[in-house]
Structure 1
Amino acid sequence: MNTTVKYNIEVIKKEALQLVKKGLINRQHPIYTLCKYIPHREWVNFELELEKNEFLLRDRIIDLLNHESWEDDCGCI
């Protein structure tokens, strides 16, 4: 039975955002930091998807979060 998880770039971005929100990783860390949170057997698929979408392992996590929304906490313009 093949239990390989299929990663797509949107799943990777959501995973990265959740790890940032939990404070487990920082936006300035390199993308390869995510390898701590991805099962070793899945890393090759994960890395291939990043490469397919023109991300390098040395790029920063913030590059994956380019559509991150910010709340206006002061209410001023």
Structure 2
Amino acid sequence: MIQSIQYSLDVIQDEARQLVQKGVVSRQQPIYVLCNYIPAREWGWVESELEKSDFLLRDRIGDLISHENWEND
């Protein structure tokens, strides 16, 4: 049985950051290009997590990897 990985926003950001650092994708490209590097069976999890965090697939990868969550003290 193939087990699905549930992607958290942190995991998605780390994956995107690594792809940018390797020069595979650019910070200016839309987030949806990441679907070329994430298994199709996992993409639904990724889209869901991005939506929960108010990201659109047309947003830039740079916005995704530089996004920080701030908590009140």
- Give the TM-score category using the shorter length: 0.7 to 0.9
- Identity of paired residues, percent? 58
1:64 shift after superposition: 1.1
Cα distance between partner residues in 1 of 2:11 and 2:33 = 16
What is the rounded CA distance, in whole Å, between the counterparts of 2:64 and 2:45 in structure 1?
Answer: 17
How many matched pairs? 68
Q: CA RMSD in A?
A: 1.5
Runs of 4+ residues over 6 Å off in structure 1: none
What is residue 58 of structure 2 aligned with on the other side? 58
Greater share of residues in helix:
2
One-letter amino acid of the structure 2 residue matched with residue 47 of structure 1: E
User: How far apart, in 1, do the equivalents of 2:58 and 2:42 lie?
Assistant: 19
Spell out, residue by residue over 1:50-70, the C-alpha distance to the aligned partner (whole angstroms, 9 max, x if none): 000000000000011216xxx
Matching residue's letter, 1:19:
L
Structure of greater Rg? 1
